[in-house]
Amino acid sequence: MIAIGQASQQSGVNIETIRYYERVGVVPKPGRSTAGRRLYSVDEIAKLRFVKRCRDLGFPIPIIQTFLSFTGQEDRSCGEVETLAEDHLAQIDAKIENLARLREALLNLSKNCDDGTAACPMLDSLMRDGFGEAVAQKS
């Protein structure tokens, strides 16, 4: 059983973030020492690392909680995990597409800036009507 600082080092999760995860119920409350300090087992460290990996993959916390509720149970979990992962993948694809469109729009705008005049054509374009409607989408 190790203290939170070591748990942080071994899992790669910030101390404050570990406490945050505990507070919102992502990971279960760990045991405590007689003085009230958190003590983590190897399993709990593994769970923290799992959460970190999922977060690095961009999964939102509620999805990770669903994942954690599946681990250990054998039946039906794989299909649901796959569905959640595919949904997430679709969202990532949508984000990439959106950013690519935005990139194009921005590139078109800023290349006008090269013409050497003092007033900025990019700001002009943004101020004038009729631009930008093609970009407006939520990421």
Partner DNA sequence: GTACTTCCTGTAGCCACTACAGGAGCAAGA
Partner DNA sequence: TCTTGCTCCTGTAGTGGCTACAGGAAGTAC
112 binds DNA (CB under 7 A): no
35 binds its own copies (CB under 8 A): no
Q: Which is nearer to DNA, 31 or 104 (CB)?
A: 31
* Per-residue contact string for residues 34-63; x = within reach of DNA by CB under 7 A: xxxxx----------------x----xxx-
102 binds DNA (CB under 7 A): no
3-state per-residue secondary structure call for the chain? CECHHHHHHHHCCCHHHHHHHHHHCCCCCCEECCCCCEEECHHHHHHHHHHHHHHHCCCCHHHHHHHHHHCCCCCCHHHHHHHHHHHHHHHHHHHHHHHHHHHHHHHHHHHHHHHCCCCCHHHHHHHCCCCCCCCCCCC
The rounded distance, in Å, linking the Cα atoms of 108 and 104 is: 6
Asked if 94 and 137 touch (Cβ cutoff 8 Å), the reply is no
* Nearest approach, Cβ of residue 34 and DNA (Å): 6
> Contact with DNA (CB under 7 A): which of 17, 66, 77, 125?
17
130 binds DNA (CB under 7 A): no
Residues forming contacts to its own copies in the complex (CB under 8 A) are 12, 46, 49-50, 52-54, 56-58, 67, 70-71, 74-75, 77-79, 81-82, 85-86, 88-89, 92-93, 95-96, 99-100, 102-103, 105-107, 109-110, 113-114, 117-123, 126-127, 129, 131-132, 135-137, 139
